[in-house]
Chain A
Amino acid sequence: MKVIPIYAEAGISGFESPAAEYKELGLSLDQLIIKHPNATFIGQASGHSMKGVGIFDGDILIVDRSLTAKNGDVIVANYNGSFVCKLLDKKQARLLSASADFAPVTISLEDEFSLEGVVTRSIRLHHQSPELAACML
C-alpha cells in the first residue's frame, strides 16, 4: 500500500509569506551525487578489502560508466563473472585492494575481465535503512 501525503488547505489567505519570493527548489542528493544519470548505477559493497579508501561492508557505491578510468581510480570491474570493487593499477594490469590483508590480483589473459565503471561516491548508512535491510543479510 502506498500512502501519498496530501496537506490540508483551508483556502483562507492571510498575509503572504514574506519569504515566498525567495523559495527555491530543495536540495537534491541526486544532483550532488550523480553526474551522469543514464550511465550511473547503484550497487552495494560486500567485503572488507577496500577499508583503506573508506569503503566498508554494506556501503552504497555510485558507479559511473561514462568516465574513463585513470590509474589508481576506485573502479568496478567484471572479474571472472562477478562485480569487484578495487583500485586500478593500469601499468601492471593489476587489481589492488586498499587493505594489507589482501594481496594484489594480476589480470591474466585467461581471466574474464572488463571495466564496468568508476566509483565516484560511496555512502555509509550509519543507521540501518529499512529499504536496504533485506540486502544486508
Chain B
Amino acid sequence: MYALVDAVSFYASAEKVFDPSIRNKPVVVLTNNDGCICAVCPIARRLGIPKFKPYFQVKSLLDKHGVVVRSSNYELYADLSDRMMNVISRFCDNQYIYSIDESFLYFDNYHSTIKDWHEYAHKIRRAVWKETKLPVGVGFGSTPTLSKAANHAAKKLSGFNGVAVIENNKSSNEVLTRMDVAEVWGIGSKIAKKLKFLGINNAAQLSRQDPKQIRKQFSVVMERTVNELNGISCLSWDEVKSPKKEIFSTRSFGQRITSKDELRAALVSHVSIVSKKLRRQSSLVKKLMVFASSSPHDELYYKQTIVYPFIMATDNSCEMAQAINYTIDSIYHEGVRFYRCGVGAIELVSKEFIQTDLFMPDHINTNLMKCLDNINHKYGDGTLKIATEGRDNKWKMRREFLSPQYTSQWRDIPKIQC
C-alpha cells in the first residue's frame, strides 16, 4: 500500500496555527512580492475567492468579504512543515517528503499488522491535527498514482472528509469516475485536452483504455499511468523518490533594479539557492540557464536568456557564480528597469556516476561546499555567502502582510493571556 499525506491549503492553514483570531476567518496567502494569491483556505474557497489571480485584481473582492491577507512567511512554513513531516514519519518506516507539504508513505509487508487502512488513515490525520494544528488529507492506494488519486478524493470530493482508501475495484471506481482526467498524477493540461478530445473525460475512462494503445498514441509514461490506475505498480519506490530533473530559482524584485551590480548580486543569490539544492540531491549541473527581464506590462518588454554550458558538470557555488560573471554583460542592458531574474539548472547529471577527467584538477571542491552547507545549516541560511551577493538587499522580497515568525524569533513568540 502507498499513502499520500498532504496539508489542506498548507500556507493558509499554517497562518492559522499561531493566530487563533483568524481560525474561523477566510484567509489567503500571497506569493513572493505579494503578487498573486497562492493559497486559499477552505472558508475563503467557499466564498469563491480564486487562486492564482493577481492580488490587485481581486483586492476589492477580498475587502468585500473581509478576507485576511498574508504574505508568504517561509520561515514559519518551513518550521511547521518539519513538524508535520516528523509526526507523519511515526506511522511508517518508508517516508519520502515530496514537497513542503506532501509526503508519500510506502507500506511494505504491513498487511498483517494493519487491518483497517481507513482507520489508520484517520489516526494519521488526527495525530497531525492534534500535534501541529494543521489539517491534512490522507489517501491510500495500491500504487503511487492511486494514492495520489485517493488523496485528491479525500480533500476535494464530497463525502470523504479528509480520508480516502482505494483498495478494490469498487472503491477505485467510486473515486476515479468523479475525478477529472486532468487531475490524474502526471497528466498535464496539454495531454488532458487531447484526452478529452478523444472522449476520455474522467480517470475511470482513462483506466479502461488499452495500455498498449495509449503507449502508441501518447508515451510510455502514459502507459504506466493507465496501468497504475488499474492497481498495477509501475513506479517503483525509487522512481517516486527520483531527484528533480531541473532546478530553478527565480523571483521578481521588491523594487525595480537598474544597475549591473545589483542584477549580478540577485543572480548570484539565485545561484546559491540552486547550487545548494543540487548538492542536496547529489546532482551536478551541465547547463545553467540565466535570465532577466523587465515586466511584460512595460511599454518596451525586455527579456534576455543565456544558456551557459559548463565544461565539467559542477555543484560548486563559486564556479556557478563565475558563470554569472561570464554572462552578465550579455544579459544586462543599460536603461532597462529589471523586474525579475533567475537561474535554472536545466541539464543535470548524477554525482555518483560522474565521469571525471584525468587531467582536470578537482574543480568541485566537495569539502569546501560541505563546509559551506554545514555552517549555513547550523547558523542559518546566508551566514556564509558569496561576496557578490552583497549585504544590502533592497531587491529582496516585498512582504507587506507578513505574519510574525512565531517559531523562529524570540521577539515573535505567541502571547498567551493569563
Q: In the complex, which range does the number of interface residues on chain A fall in?
A: 35 or more
Q: Is the CB of A46 within 8 A of B406?
A: no
Complex contacts, B411 vs chain A, CB 8 Å:
131-132, 134-135
- B217 adjacent to chain A (CB < 8 Å): no
Residue of A49, A60, A82, A134 with most chain B CB atoms under a 10 A cut-off? A82
Interchain CA distance A65-B134 in the complex, whole Å: 12
Known: A2-B380, A65-B131, A78-B20. A47 touches B418 (CB 8 A): yes
For residues 85 through 137 of chain A, which have their beta carbon under 8 Å from a beta carbon of chain B?
Answer: 85-86, 97, 112, 114, 116, 129, 131-132, 134-135
In this complex, what residue of A is CB-closest to B90?
A: A38
- B414 adjacent to chain A (CB < 8 Å): yes
- A4 adjacent to chain B (CB < 8 Å): yes
Interface string of A50-85 (1 = CB under 8 A from B): 100001010011010110000000001010011111
Interchain CA distance A133-B416 in the complex, whole Å: 17
Q: Is the CB of A66 within 8 A of B131?
A: yes
Q: Is the CB of A47 within 8 A of B417?
A: yes
- B383 adjacent to chain A (CB < 8 Å): yes
Give min CB distance, B135 to chain A, whole Å. Answer: 13
Give min CB distance, A50 to chain B, whole Å. Answer: 4
Q: Is the CB of B414 within 8 A of A43?
A: yes
Q: Is the CB of B87 within 8 A of A85?
A: no
Complex contacts, B412 vs chain A, CB 8 Å:
135
Q: Is the CB of B414 within 8 A of A83?
A: yes
Interchain CA distance A118-B86 in the complex, whole Å: 20
Complex contacts, A78 vs chain B, CB 8 Å:
20, 23
- A45 adjacent to chain B (CB < 8 Å): yes
Q: Is the CB of B83 within 8 A of A44?
A: no
Known: A41-B407, A45-B418, A83-B415. A65 touches B132 (CB 8 A): yes
Q: Is the CB of B413 within 8 A of A42?
A: yes
Known: A4-B379, A81-B21. A44 touches B131 (CB 8 A): no
Q: Is the CB of A55 within 8 A of B413?
A: no
Interface string of B393-418 (1 = CB under 8 A from A): 00000000000001100111111111
Known: A47-B418, A48-B418. A116 touches B133 (CB 8 A): yes
Known: A45-B416, A48-B418, A50-B418. A39 touches B132 (CB 8 A): yes
Q: Name the prevailing secondary structure of the A interface residues.
A: mixed
Q: How many chain-B residues does the 8 Å CB contact rule pick out?
A: 29
Interchain CA distance A134-B411 in the complex, whole Å: 6
Interchain CA distance A134-B415 in the complex, whole Å: 13
Known: A4-B375, A135-B413. A85 touches B418 (CB 8 A): yes
In this complex, what residue of B is CB-closest to A86?
A: B418
In this complex, what residue of B is CB-closest to A84?
A: B417
Q: Is the CB of B417 within 8 A of A46?
A: yes
In this complex, what residue of A is CB-closest to B406?
A: A41
In this complex, what residue of B is CB-closest to A59?
A: B418
Complex contacts, A43 vs chain B, CB 8 Å:
413-416
Complex contacts, B406 vs chain A, CB 8 Å:
41
Q: Is the CB of B418 within 8 A of A112?
A: no
Complex contacts, B11 vs chain A, CB 8 Å:
none
Give min CB distance, B196 to chain A, whole Å. Answer: 43
Give min CB distance, B20 to chain A, whole Å. Answer: 4
In this complex, what residue of A is CB-closest to B86?
A: A38
Q: Is the CB of A41 within 8 A of B18?
A: yes
6 residue pairs A–B, Cβ–Cβ below 8 Å: A4-B379, A37-B86, A38-B132, A39-B83, A97-B418, A132-B410
Known: A39-B87, A43-B414. 8 other contacts (CB 8 A): A2-B380, A44-B414, A55-B418, A76-B416, A97-B418, A129-B410, A132-B411, A135-B411
Please give me the 5 A-B residue pairs with the lowest Cβ-Cβ distance, nearest first.
A39-B131, A47-B418, A78-B20, A131-B410, A81-B21
A residues engaging B (CB < 8 A)? 2, 4, 36-39, 41-50, 55, 57, 60-61, 63, 65-66, 76, 78, 81-86, 97, 112, 114, 116, 129, 131-132, 134-135
